[in-house]
Structure 1
C-alpha cells in the first residue's frame, strides 16, 4: 500500500489534499538532479503554494498542463 499519492493517481501533491490535479509543476534540484526532473501534481488551490516552495529553494520550476508532463524538462 502506497503512503502517498503518485503522479498516476491524478491527485494534488499537497499534503492532505484529495482534490483532482489540473496542473503539474515540473522542477529539479540543480545540486542533485543532473539532466532529470521531478513532477508534482497540483490543484488550482495549491498551485501557488507548491510553486513558491520550489522558488524559495531556488529550484527551477514551471507549471504545465498535466497533458504536457510526458518528457517535460526544466
Structure 2
C-alpha cells in the first residue's frame, strides 16, 4: 500500500501530510523507517501493523513495542510503500 495515499486519503483532500511523518507523538520529522508490529492477542500471526519512525525516535518506538512483545521487525522506508497503512 502506498504510504502517501494511506495517509492522505482521497485525491484533493488536505487531511494528511505530503511526506510520511514519524509516528512518535509530537514529532513532525520525515519518516525513514517502518517498524512492523502486531499484538498476538488480537492480530493473526501474519498481520503487521506499521509505525513510521525518524532516526531520532526509531529506538524509542522499538523499545516501546519490544517491552510489550509486539515488535516484529524494522525495515527502511523506501519507495513510498509499507506493508500496511501507518497507524
TM-score (norm 1): 0.77
Following TM superposition, the consecutive aligned residue runs of length 4 or more in structure 1 with deviations greater than 6 angstroms are none
The answer on whether the counterparts of 1:51 and 1:61 sit within 8 Å (CA) in structure 2 is: no
1:47 aligns with 2:37: no
Deviations 1:19-73 (A, max 9, x none): 00011101111111113110000000000000000000011321101126337xx
Task: Tell me whether 1:26 sits opposite 2:36 in the alignment.
Answer: yes
> Which whole-Å CA distance do the structure 2 matches of 1:16 and 1:61 have between them?
24
Larger Rg: 2
List gaps (5 residues or longer) in structure 1: 1-6
Question: How many residue pairs get matched?
Answer: 65
TM-score by length of structure 2 reads: 0.67
